[in-house]
Amino acid sequence: MSLAVPDLEQAAKRLQDVYGLTIGEVLVNETQGVRLAYVELGNARIELMQPLRADSPVGKFLERNPRGGIHHFCLEVGSVDKATETISSRGAKVLGGVKAQRNVHGERIAFIHPQDFLGALVELEEHGKGGC
């Protein structure tokens, strides 16, 4: 699950103080326009994302949701190309088309439009070192 937050350090402090959770290293994904860090939970992780610029997808999300909130969730797939081809052939919209996108770990990713997944934005990520 990925949370958009207006202030990464403030969100990290809140998670530490209230829930005893610790975030990992802060990373930057210039292409996606975010600073991010992960909270590892054993069999799951929470990704915290702060926009680097107002016109990024996360920046636009925070315009509509200034306190932050769930931005998207992630599903691991064996092949982004195969998954998006299958999903597209069944009528779902892949955001950005066939243009290759990469996450902060360099793994292939794609996003499925919320209208095609019960109102939720979905990130597809190829299996790799990062993991959803």
Q: Which residue, 59, 65, 56, 67, is CA-closest to 11?
A: 67
**pTM of the model as a whole:** 0.83
Q: What is the pLDDT confidence band of residue 98, given thresholds at 50, 70 and 90?
A: low
Is there a catalytic annotation at residue 40? Answer: no
Architecture of the CATH domain 2-126? Roll (3.10)
Average pLDDT over residues 81-98: 90
pLDDT of residue 130: 63
Dihedral (CA of 48, 71, 100, 107) sign: positive
Average pLDDT over residues 17-29: 94
pLDDT of residue 132: 75
Q: Which of 25, 63, 107, 123 is catalytic?
A: 123
pLDDT of residue 79: 93
Instruction: List the chain domain ranges.
Output: 2-126
